[in-house]
Chains A and B, each alone.
Chain A
Amino acid sequence: MSVGITGIGAVSALGIGVDALWDGLAHGRDGIVSIDRFSTEGFSLHLGALVPWPSRAPSPVDFATLAAREALARARVSLENFPSLAKRTALVMGTSLGDGAEKPHVETAAVARALGVLGPALSVSTACTSSTNALGLAKSLLDHGDVHLVIAGGADVLSPDLFAGFHALGALSFAKCSPFGKTMGTTLGEGAGFVVMERHESARQRGATELAWLAGTGLSSDAYHATAPDPTGAGVTRALRAALADARVAASLVDYVNAHGTGTEANDAAEWQALRAVFGAHLEAMLVSSTKGHLGHAQGAAGILEILATLVCMEHASVPPTLHFQGPRPRCPADPVAQPTPRKHAVRHAVSSSSAFGGANAAVVLSAVPSAPAAHATRPLRAVYVATTTSLGRDGLRGTDAPHDECPGRLAEPSLDALLRGADTRGLNRSERMLAAVVASALGDASLVPRGDARERTGLFLGVTRSSPESVAELEESVRQRGLVKLSATAFPKLVLNAPGGTSTKLLGLRGPSTAISMGEGSGLLALVYAARELSSREDADTLVAAGLDELAAHDDPSSRGEGAACVVLTVHHARSCGTRVVATAIGGPDDRAFVEAEAARAAGLATVALEPSTHARGPAEAASSLYRAAAAIARIRAGEAHVIVSEASPNASCAVVFAAEKAEVFDHER
């Protein structure tokens, strides 16, 4: 179902606030400057799109709090004075690497506290698609009825490490970023953007004005390369088609696409291929542009800032232009609205698309509020079965009937060669190896390693809380030995939290929807909840692997902390079921296990449900521990239990899942 956007807020290189964003667009200004916040000595170029900011070290939390406060104010929402609304309000924040100081979920919790949000505070970290992707998770919370209101978007800062990483990869432009134009390369940026989203009836009831609708969202994985896009554009094509199908908007009804358009040779050509595949001859009638010439590439905040640029222009019956265009580039659009100021063009439906390291793609469909909304029949929900589980322990991998208990300390090094015959596993870090092992083993046990078209309908939802410590150490070592200018170009892209997931999708050919999300403790269970809901309510995937992953760093204390790699394969194929179904899920506010357990049991129509006990108040493996318990619950059901509930709570959020034997008596489906 579409949801309403009732407030927007922006912190961008064009200034603080949505008005500054519009003013910059309307007057043909860009926010690209010679970087003065940190030294760029030794680099071959010095351009960046910096937020005008009084301090020399802004944090993503600063940017996000300011932008989200503006969005709440414009939506006329006050959380401070209405604790019951604050409890039913969620924050979903997309961040890539931020300033490197904190884990994404810790930053998200800090923003939630600053805003007075008392509902779930969830992180999405899929590199440069983070904030676009965050809107999909946010819409799912509203669709499912967990909350009344969601503040969704993202934030990132342009840090010296980020600049050095993109510089080492040769992705930066010597001139200001010129998407689809003669000059190739991108310019990095930063900022934050947020929207307030709510269901249409809630907006109507509280007298709020809908600015536009978020009509649909889509995700995909290239399953191609860690940094380079699939040159055929097939990955972007899948995300665009998934978003249009979710929105039930035909490609021929789209008036404008705000492209990812980074300006690099590889991205722009691949993206144009995708747009030609999806829109065909209709490209003649619609417009395509990229606002990275104004805003630079703001990483985790890029998608949401581009969505906001699209929305403010839609309000003025126009579309944003592409700046700095000095003439067309082969395999790119001839006229990407190449002019200084917005072009008059009425937009009913717009699409915004983002792509990222790890082969992640995300797209959203935005619709002008229609004068007479068409009534859509709600789709029937599909039953979701558990196919298999796999957990990694001290003595290797175990399958569905004998799962490992989680344990502190380091896990066995899995052998990938037997699981992934002939695959190129050179240079994988420990996170990538552990995750690929459990995913390959679980899909193999279920006979669900996809072939042919099934690849496009299989994806991976990963709960993970931080970058791979092995790759962080490798990057730091390269900086120590060779200096920041020559940091390791191979280690740098492995720092994004979706990198291990991206590698598994590549090794196993999983091209369907994929994401990386976090709530700290319980992130793996959150991934399972989200995956189960997507399988149940959407039609773009048939099998989703929900996984949790934790890698210990050399300096971590192995007596109190542990590694973890566990996954649960969910599928709508009844023939692949292990006899267990996911019958209900719930997501709630911080440290509120009792609430989500009661909600999930109620949704399953059950008065009493056996609980899978938590073996540790706080599991040794932050993200994965909850999936070890989910695997134990599934084994109990296979051993004769009718229903088992698994829950987890953290300072960010709480979530719960009810598993049931297929034969067990339950409500036909949730809600």
Chain B
Amino acid sequence: MNAEQRAYVARRNDVLARVRRVLTEELHVRREPEEIDPDVALFGTGLGLDSVDAIEVLLSIEAEFSVAIPDEAAGRSVLRTVGTLVDLVMAHDAASGDEK
């Protein structure tokens, strides 16, 4: 693993930890943060979030990571699992990195 890959993994772990914190503290998910599997579904039988929470998830992620999520990016695929939320933030990192 080269330095760039190590940095990517570290960043990904950091983002996952913060997404988990958003879910337990802002969305009141009643699990220990480390028990929230990256592949668990946000809605329905997964973490049990609902349509009102969907808005709160996006607003909380925007505030936590100081990113702006455009409406067209906030579709169902992004809100599928904890991991897809991490992907969203990582994709934003990559996009803003390109601009630099």
Contacts and interface: CB of A to CB of B under 8 A. Distances in A.
Interface of A: 168-170, 225-228, 424-428, 478, 481-482, 486, 488-490, 493
Q: How many interface residues does chain B have, given as a range?
A: 10 to 19
Interface of B: 27-30, 48, 50-53, 55-56, 59, 62-63
Contacts of B53: 490
A427 B63 contact: no
B55 A168 contact: yes
B73 to A, nearest CB: 16
Contacts of B52: 169, 226-228, 489-490, 493
Residue in B53, B59, B63 whose Cβ sees the most chain A Cβ within 10 Å: B59
A228 B51 contact: yes
19 contacts: A168-B55, A169-B52, A225-B50, A227-B52, A424-B48, A426-B29, A426-B48, A481-B63, A482-B59, A482-B62, A482-B63, A486-B59, A486-B62, A486-B63, A489-B55, A489-B56, A489-B59, A490-B27, A490-B53
A486 B63 CA distance: 9
A1 to B, nearest CB: 41
A241 to B, nearest CB: 28
Contacts of B51: 228
Given A426-B30, A490-B52, 11 more contacts: A228-B50, A228-B51, A426-B29, A486-B59, A486-B62, A489-B52, A489-B55, A489-B59, A490-B53, A490-B56, A493-B52
A658 B30 CA distance: 44
4 nearest CB pairs, A to B: A427-B28, A489-B55, A490-B56, A486-B59
Nearest to A228: B51
Interface centre among A228, A425, A427, A481, by most chain B C-beta atoms within 10 angstroms, is A427
A227 B26 CA distance: 18
A164 to B, nearest CB: 12
Contacts of A427: 27-28
Contacts of B63: 481-482, 486
Contacts of A486: 59, 62-63
A170 B71 CA distance: 12
Contacts of A168: 55, 59
A260 B56 CA distance: 27
Contacts of B62: 482, 486
Contact of B55 (A170, A225, A424, A426): A170
Nearest to A492: B52
A102 to B, nearest CB: 27
A493 B52 CA distance: 10
B46 to A, nearest CB: 12
Most buried by A among B29, B52, B63: B52
Contacts of A169: 52, 55
A486 B53 CA distance: 13
Nearest to A428: B28
A190 to B, nearest CB: 24
Contacts of A226: 52
B59 A426 contact: no
Contact of A488 (B29, B48, B50, B59): B59
A428 B28 CA distance: 8
Contacts of B48: 424, 426
A86 to B, nearest CB: 45
Contacts of A481: 63
Contacts of B29: 426
Contacts of B30: 425-426
Nearest to A425: B30
A59 to B, nearest CB: 29
